[in-house]
C-alpha cells in the first residue's frame, strides 16, 4: 500500500517549506543533539509538530549520507491541473517548460530549482516513461517546488497541441545545425519551451510540433550541455527577452 505522505530531507528543503507552505508539513523530526535555535524557533512559529530522535531512528526514516539532523513528513506532492497553466492570462510573463521523458530525478530537481529562481515559469511532465516529483526530486529542488506550478499529463504531445491552439509558440531545444542560435532569435510570447530526454532528445512526433528550433552556441569542445544546464541557459535568454 502506497504511503500517503513523503519524507522531505535537507535543511534548505525543509526550511523553505516551513516558510512558504507549512500547512503541508505533518511533523518535523530533529536529531536529539540538534543545535540550530533559529530553525527550532521557525518550527514553533509555524505551529508545526516536532519530535526529537536519535540518529539511528532518524536514519530509518530516510537513508542518506547527510540528513543534516532533520527530516520532515509532508503531504504528497500535489500537481497543478494543466488547464490552469494553459489558461493563465496571455499578458502574464510566464513560460511553460515541457519536459519530454526526463528520467533522472536529479535533473528534474535542478530544473525545478532553476525555474523557481528565474521566476515566471511553470512545468509540464509526462505521466509515463519519465520521472515523477519524488523525494529525491524535492531534495534537489531545495524548496523550488513551493514557488512554481507543475502539471503531470498522460500525453505531452496533445497538451502541446492544445497550447498552440491557445496561442502559445513552441520552441524546442535541439542539437542540430539547422536550428537557430538562441541568442539571435527574437522570441515570440506566450512561449512554451520543450526539453528532450537525457539521451534521446525531443522524440519524433513532438519535434513536429515545434514552431522554433533553437540551439546553444558552443565554441569549445564538441560535446553537449546536460539538460538541466541547457534549461538554465534557455531560461536566462527567455527572461532577458521578456523583460523579467
Give the integer Cα–Cα distance in Å for 227 and 97: 12
- Write the pLDDT tens digit of every residue in 20-66: 999 999 999 999 999 999 999 999 999 999 999 999 999 999 888 77
What is the third-level CATH fold of 5-75? 60s Ribosomal Protein L30; Chain: A; (3.30.1330)
Neighbouring-strand partners of residue 150: 123
Neighbouring-strand partners of residue 213: 172
Between 3.30.420.10, 3.90.1200.10, 3.40.228.10, 3.40.1280.10, what CATH number should domain 82-242 receive?
3.40.1280.10
Instruction: Give 22's DSSP letter.
Output: G
C-alpha torsion angle, residues 136, 104, 88, 206 (rounded to 10): -160
Is residue 160 classed exposed, middle or buried when 0-12, 13-18 and 19+ CB atoms within 10 A define those classes?
A: buried
Neighbouring-strand partners of residue 172: 194, 213
| Per-residue pLDDT at 244 | 61
Peptide bond preceding 228 in cis form (omega within 30 of 0): no
Grid coordinates given for 201: 532528445
Domain boundaries, given as residue ranges, for the chain:
5-75, 82-242
Contact 212, 170 (CB under 8 A): yes
Q: How many helices (H) and strands (E) are present in the chain, helices listed first?
A: 8, 11
Q: How confident is the model at residue 208 (pLDDT cuts 50, 70, 90)?
A: very high
- Write the pLDDT tens digit of every residue in 147-175: 999 999 999 999 999 999 999 999 999 98
52: closest CA among 33, 39, 65? 33
Give the integer Cα–Cα distance in Å for 156 and 39: 40
0.85 exceeded by the pTM?
A: yes
Amino acid at each position: 500500500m502506497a504511503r500517503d505522505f513523503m519524507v522531505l530531507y535537507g535543511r534548505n528543503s525543509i526550511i523553505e517549506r516551513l516558510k512558504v507552505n507549512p500547512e503541508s508539513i505533518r511533523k518535523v523530526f530533529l536529531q536529539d543533539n540538534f543545535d540550530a535555535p533559529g530553525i527550532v524557533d521557525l518550527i514553533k512559529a509555524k505551529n508545526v509538530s516536532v519530535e526529537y530522535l536519535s540518529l539511528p531512528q532518524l536514519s530509518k526514516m530516510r537513508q542518506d549520507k547527510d540528513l543534516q539532523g532533520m527530516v520532515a513528513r509532508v503531504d504528497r506532492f500535489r500537481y497543478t491541473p494543466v488547464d490552469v497553466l494553459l489558461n493563465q492570462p496571455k499578458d502574464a510573463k510566464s513560460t511553460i517548460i515541457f519536459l519530454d521523458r526526463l528520467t533522472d530525478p536529479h535533473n528534474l530537481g535542478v530544473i525545478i530549482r532553476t525555474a523557481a529562481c528565474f521566476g515566471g515559469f511553470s512545468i509540464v511532465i509526462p505521466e509515463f516513461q519519465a520521472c515523477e516529483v519524488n523525494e529525491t526530486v524535492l531534495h534537489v529542488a531545495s524548496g523550488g517546488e513551493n514557488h512554481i506550478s507543475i502539471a503531470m499529463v498522460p500525453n505531452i504531445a496533445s497538451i502541446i497541441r492544445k497550447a498552440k491552439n491557445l496561442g502559445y509558440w513552441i520552441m524546442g531545444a535541439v542539437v542540430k545545425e539547422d536550428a537557430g542560435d538562441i541568442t539571435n532569435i527574437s522570441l515570440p510570447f506566450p512561449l512554451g519551451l520543450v526539453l528532450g530526454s537525457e539521451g534521446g532528445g525531443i522524440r519524433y512526433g513532438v519535434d513536429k510540433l515545434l514552431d522554433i528550433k533553437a540551439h546553444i552556441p558552443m565554441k569549445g569542445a564538441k560535446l553537449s550541455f546536460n539538460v538541466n544546464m541547457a534549461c538554465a541557459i534557455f531560461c536566462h535568454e527567455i527572461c532577458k527577452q521578456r523583460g523579467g
